[in-house]
Amino acid sequence: MHLQKTVRKKLSVQTGFTLTELLVVICLFSLLSGFFVQCFVFAMEQYQHSIALMELEDNLSSSMDWLASDLAESIAVLKCTDDELTLQTSDGKIYYTLGTDTQAKEHFYDLEGKTFYRRENTQINRQPMANFISCFRVTYYDETGNPTENASSVKIVEILLEGTWNDTVISQSQAVRLKDSDYF
């Protein structure tokens, strides 16, 4: 009989959480959720930053490879200005220029700087090689190794490409001897 009273007493007592306990749990949950959202936003920003830097470095490397290959096959430099390089090859002309990216809105990050383009005389449209270019500097040397601005006497071309993403600067430079040049 005593056992039945104990069982009935236990069944009749209502158990649950009080309003205060529920409010405390909701507050803790919202604080933790806010913290995790902040961590996620920070992680996504870091991810986008690292992706942009990797793309910049990859673009600079591939651009420098193309440029060095084209320069090695060139027989003359036809035009050399601050933002344009025109090369004469046995197959025709190759143009390198700096310009703005007309499709900048397609990237998931804002473009800063200019875009480095390459176009052969057989192509209608220019091909983007690298984004975020902050500096494209070409130094021309004659056969004696002295800097020159005379396009017909150029034997060696030294190229510097610098790209900037936020406050990070990545640079690539290379000196290339023109084809059929006896210098070096």
H-helix or E-strand spanning residue 11: helix 2-12
Instruction: Output DSSP code: residue 145.
Output: S
Instruction: Give the rounded percent of residues in the chain with a pLDDT score beyond 90.
Output: 12
Measured CA angle at 4 (ends 3, 5), to 5 deg: 90
Side-chain-side CA neighbours of 109 within 13 Å: the count stands at 19
Cα Rg for the chain, rounded, in angstroms?
32
In tens, the pLDDT along 20-42 reads: 989 999 999 999 999 999 999 99
Measured CA angle at 79 (ends 78, 82), to 5 deg: 155
The reported pLDDT for the residue numbered 184 is 29
Q: Is the pLDDT of residue 174 over 50?
A: yes
Work out the number of other CB atoms within 10 angstroms of the CB of residue 49. Answer: 14
Q: Which residue has the higher pLDDT, 169 or 113?
A: 169
Q: CA 168 to CA 48: how far, in whole Å? A: 14
The average confidence (pLDDT) of the chain is 79
